[in-house]
Amino acid sequence: MTATVLVVDDIEPNRRLLQAKLEAKYYTVFLADNGEGAIASALRHQPDIILLDVMMPGMDGFEVCQRLKAMPETQHIPIVMVTALVNIEDRLKGLQAGADDFLSKPVDDFGLFTRLDTQMRFNMVANELRVRGKQNARVTQFSDYEKELIEAPSNVLVIDQDNAEARRVAEALKATGHRAQTWVDASGGSIEFRDLDLVIVALSNQKHDPLKLCAHLRTLKEARDFSIMVTYDPRDQSRALEALRIGAADLVSTPLEIAELQVRVRTQTRRQRYIDVLRHRVDRGMELSVIDPLTGLFNRRHMLEKMQSWMHRARAGSKPLSVVAFDIDHFKSINDQFGHGAGDDVLQAFSDRLRMNIRPKDIACRIGGEEFLVIMPETEMNLALAGAERIREAIASEPFTNERTSNPIDVTVSAGVATHQGEAEVLADFLHRADQALYRAKQNGRNRIENRAA
């Protein structure tokens, strides 16, 4: 896996060394020797990853990171801060500035390329979700709730045959606000994997096969919701790389530097929560694109797509297709008498009754205001009429109760039924016939069903 990398360091030998290492692995490399140059290069080249030195004259790495993360054009680019600083406060300062990861000087090849690999995996998923989110017209700024979710403490499970070491790790994470437990301590009760954010698995000096355990964890349905971090002896680099291939999100070498582990757990949690937020936005955006937000029924856009699809199937399979157009009678008077809030409540209650009185294969849609349409696949006219009558009776049989009014609201509905006439009929004509039948039901006194064969 290759990428474009921006290397920022004020010392030329450091820049050239990283450039040589990266280009040997077929990365495309851009260079900057100061903070202003780094910002300009990031804006111009839009690199996949930025390797950013902390200690630079003038604008240091912390300020560069903060500025890049504040700009919409560059805030999504992962930043790995390269530093000789080991103080936890300095690393937390980097996180607060927006850093995504850290590399300690001197930078070894294994650490460099595993960090790049994990960042690229994250970036590929995040970029795909961001693109899909834009296609669904979702906003790019996080809400306060989303920010709190991303920064919330992590729920961690530590798996290590040496339970004393596992407890040491768990206690160190608790000291920074996380919730942590060891496998041995948790085995007395049930482990709810769906509640976990991170599982830390010790790779070296274990009697069981940790790689097999990682592979098994990745088969769990809940595995999408937590990350796996692997701790390893430097002599186990080949197995550590195998752990990445299996699905581990991060590697930390032993003996564990607790300060680094604390930072990495926080970084990994923030990264996973960021993906979760983006995924939720995409899912919600896709839902909103086909769902009417007030009633939960499908919207007009989805109705038109489904109508085209079922008309095609009806033509290909010579099977009937019917639709029922509904309109709530005198709905304007409900709004005028009880208020628009009560009117919305009636629309929601109407939709609930509609859902309860259609078949599983029927498709209920709100197409505007108090207008609804039910698509009835593989349904002839007589069955569609019977289904429409069942719905009409369910609406009229019992008044709608409403907390906004002291008295229940009587509601009735008129409906028009049409059956698809075959190859020659287009969608607009099909829907027009249903509307004409609905109009006739209203003209003939409302609270009734009509059909129009032609």
Residue 286's pLDDT band, with cuts at 50, 70 and 90, is low
250 vs 127, higher pLDDT: 250
CATH for the 1-134 domain, from 3.40.50.150, 3.40.50.2300, 1.10.8.50, 3.30.230.70: 3.40.50.2300
Rounded CA separation 57/6 (Å):
18
More confident residue, 91 or 389: 389
Preceding peptide of 106 cis, ω within 30°: yes
Average pLDDT over residues 364-381: 94
Largest CA distance in the chain: 89
pLDDT bracket for residue 344 (50, 70, 90): very high
Closest Cα to residue 434, out of 414, 452, 446, 412? Answer: 452
**Measured between alpha carbons, how far is 430 from 440 in angstroms, rounded to an integer?**
16
Q: How far apart are the first and last CA of the chain?
A: 62
Interior/surface letters 168-206, b for 16+ CB within 10 angstroms, e for the rest: bbbebbeebebebbbbeeeeeeeeeeeebbbbbbbbbee
- The yes-or-no verdict on residue 217 having pLDDT over 70 is yes
Name the burial class of residue 215, with classes exposed (0-12), middle (13-18) and buried (19+) by CB atoms within 10 angstroms of its CB: middle
Phi-psi region of 339 (alpha: psi -120 to 50; beta: other; left: phi over 0): left
Average pLDDT, stretch 337-354? 92
Instruction: Pick the closest to residue 354 from 297, 417, 433 (CA basis).
Output: 297
Burial of 301 (0-12, 13-18, 19+ CB in 10 A): middle
SS3 327: strand
pLDDT in tens, 378-393: 999 999 999 999 999 9
CA atoms within 13 Å, Cβ hemisphere of 173: 27
What's the token pair of residue 23? Answer: 């280009």
| CATH topology (fold) of 300-451 | Alpha-Beta Plaits (3.30.70)
| Mean pLDDT, rounded, of the chain | 87
Q: What is the DSSP secondary-structure string of 233-254?
A: -GGGHHHHHHHHHHT--EEEES
Other C-beta atoms within 10 Å of 137: how many? 9
Separation CA 21–CA 4 (nearest Å): 13
Cα–Cα distance measured from residue 358 to residue 105, given in angstroms and rounded to the nearest whole number: 67
Q: Lowest-confidence range among 105-119, 159-173, 232-246?
A: 105-119
- In the block, residue with structure tokens 């499908």: 298
Contact 82, 110 (CB under 8 A): no
Of 12-16, 84-88, 339-343, 414-418, which range is least confident?
84-88
**In the predicted model, is pLDDT for residue 137 greater than 50?**
no
Q: What is the pTM of this model?
A: 0.60
Cα separation values, 275 from 42, 118, 139, 222, 306, Å: 22, 14, 15, 15, 31
Confidence (pLDDT) at 139: 42
Whether the upstream peptide bond of residue 210 has omega within 30° of 0, thus cis, is no
- Alpha-carbon Rg of the chain, whole angstroms? 30
pLDDT at 83: 82
Q: Are 437 and 450 in contact (CB under 8 A)?
A: yes
**Are the CB atoms for 294 and 344 separated by under 8 Å?**
yes
What CA–CA distance (Å, rounded) separates 385 from 376?
11
Structure tokens belonging to residue 435 = 């509307």
The CATH H-level (homologous superfamily) assignment of domain 142-289 is: Response regulator (3.40.50.2300)
> What residues are annotated to the active site?
370
Q: Which range has the worst mean pLDDT, 194-208, 239-253, 270-284?
A: 270-284
pLDDT in tens, 315-338: 888 889 999 999 999 999 999 888
Q: Which pair of tokens denotes residue 112?
A: 């460099």
Return the pLDDT at 285: 65
pLDDT of 100: 83
The pLDDT, as a whole number, for residue 407 is 82
Q: Are 30 and 45 in contact (CB under 8 A)?
A: yes
Range(s) of the chain covered by CATH 3.40.50.2300: 1-134, 142-289
Domain with CATH 3.30.70.270 in the chain: 300-451
Contact indicator for 304, 285 with CB cutoff of 8 Å:
no
Rounded CA gap, 446 and 412, in Å? 8
Residue 362: predicted pLDDT:
94
